[in-house]
Structure 1
């Protein structure tokens, strides 16, 4: 079974904001600040932009197939939002993978839904609930309790919002690197500064953290034994080492340092025991 871990990074949809709120005459930074202010007024304090006004600027993934493991960001830095989203759903058509995310049900997928609707992107396999494949009626990407998409945060929290935890903290607790380079609040300033490469690198480290936490989850539920877990962890290390990419090598080094910080009598389960 193919497994695809994914994460998106977004910025305010300035063009959409101008269309909805008449923000013509403002530059991008000022228009975004107006959107944040309007949102704070709507919510009573939160400036978190509505999902439909989140413009996708990066989709990163870890793809595990029987042939190996791949870590990358879809498209190029110059790719349009429509191209990124089209590539994502085309990948589902091609590989029919199990999707894995951290808060994908609450954020990433709803954003992709609205933005795909905006750009007129078809995704029949993703949306299938039995119309094309009868089995999809009982196991599809949209069902919260189905197996085609595992929102790891939602599942580990027992579907209780008050038990949700940030990926950074969970990954760090397990001896993995956690956030590297930036966090979500810094994506918009980085985008304005033209640092899309930095955003893509950050997103790739996020999906790596999610994949490593997922492997520990698979061990916990009995789908990997100790040897299987060690094999998967070694594969990740080998892929990172062979990549030659500085941000992935930095992730590998931070992972080693995280392991070294554990007491000898209580080692993390991300190395052979």
Structure 2
């Protein structure tokens, strides 16, 4: 395609593999897949206060990917293997897409501890070769946790690779930008949605998370000085128009727009540009004296 795809922003929704849980955690107990999942969730709630089953016992059932150009503009958003949502096909398309676009940077929110590991394990499960992801060694290896050229985890950026904590997660970060954040479904409800046969609803939820991640990604570029605030706001406006143009045929975009808000720009009614320091050296010196007095 004409645009150079430099970033693939993605999110994974997954469900527990009840048969695997039964075999690994309850061997010889003849638990059905549903019984194994329920028992494991009860144990997790008692010991950890959550019903969320570790990713090693899960399979991806929805993966949504936003294709982003080198200038950070939104090119396209796809839900892999929609509407069949077959885990092995999702996994194949995920890694083949990365190869086809010549290894763009993966972008996630908290994907280093969940989204990428589950897609690696899915490739292992389904016998999919991804040699370019495992190439090299040291700091230049794509899988090195500090290689932001291969994978940028926005939570790592915000927390300085875990030195701090991002309490509130993506929901908080999106809300800071006045974007929807969590709406009708949350991550801990995906299993129930899947059991009820609501695969498209899961995909739609995933699609909205990817949009939130994209807008957070743009603000991170401003934070890093890759773009200035005015450029970010232009990209946001263009992305909103992109969503509006496709909303008629996509329930997820309709819901997203209902909760969408514009970021409240504190610089609108002031002459101060956040990207430009207009103080003279003398003014800075006088201000420092005031502070130290």
| TM-score category, normalised to shorter length | 0.7 to 0.9
Where does 1:99-248 land on structure 2 (aligned, <5 Å)? Answer: 99-129=106-136, 138-146=139-147, 147-160=149-162, 162-165=164-167, 166-243=169-246, 244=248, 245-248=250-253
Q: 1:23–1:31: 8 Å Cα contact kept in structure 2? A: no
Alpha carbons of structure 1 residues 123 and 17: separation in structure 2 relative to 1, 3 Å? same
SS of 1:105 mapped into structure 2: coil
Cα offset for 1:68? 5.3
Q: Computing the radius of gyration over CA atoms, which structure comes out larger, 1 or 2?
A: 2
Deviations 1:212-257 (A, max 9, x none): 00101101111112342133212211210111223213212322xx
Q: 1:176–1:209: 8 Å Cα contact kept in structure 2? A: yes
Structure 2 partner of 1:270: none
CA distance in structure 1 between the aligned counterparts of 2:44 and 2:125, rounded to whole angstroms: 21
Alpha carbons of structure 1 residues 265 and 190: separation in structure 2 relative to 1, 3 Å? same
Deviations 1:39-86 (A, max 9, x none): 457x55544322210111111111113695111211123232111111
SS of 1:35 mapped into structure 2: helix
Cα offset for 1:145? 1.6
Alpha carbons of structure 1 residues 249 and 27: separation in structure 2 relative to 1, 3 Å? same
Q: 1:73 aligns with which of 58, 79, 85?
A: 79
Deviations 1:86-139 (A, max 9, x none): 110001111111111001011111112222111111112222225xxxxxx643
Q: 1:62 aligns with which of 46, 63, 66?
A: 66
Q: TM-score, normalised to structure 2's length? A: 0.79
CA distance in structure 2 between the aligned counterparts of 1:144 and 1:26, rounded to whole angstroms: 38
Does residue 3 of structure 1 match 2:7? yes
Q: 2:108–2:154: 8 Å Cα contact kept in structure 1? A: yes
CA distance in structure 2 between the aligned counterparts of 1:78 and 1:58, rounded to whole angstroms: 10
Number of aligned residue pairs: 257
Q: Which has the higher helix share?
A: 1
CA distance in structure 1 between the aligned counterparts of 2:210 and 2:59, rounded to whole angstroms: 19
Alpha carbons of structure 1 residues 187 and 44: separation in structure 2 relative to 1, 3 Å? closer
Does residue 90 of structure 1 match 2:96? yes
CA distance in structure 2 between the aligned counterparts of 1:204 and 1:23, rounded to whole angstroms: 40
Query: Where does the alignment leave 5 or more consecutive residues of structure 2 unmatched?
Result: 269-273, 275-293
Q: TM-score, normalised to structure 1's length? A: 0.85
Query: Where does the alignment leave 5 or more consecutive residues of structure 1 unmatched?
Result: 131-136, 268-272
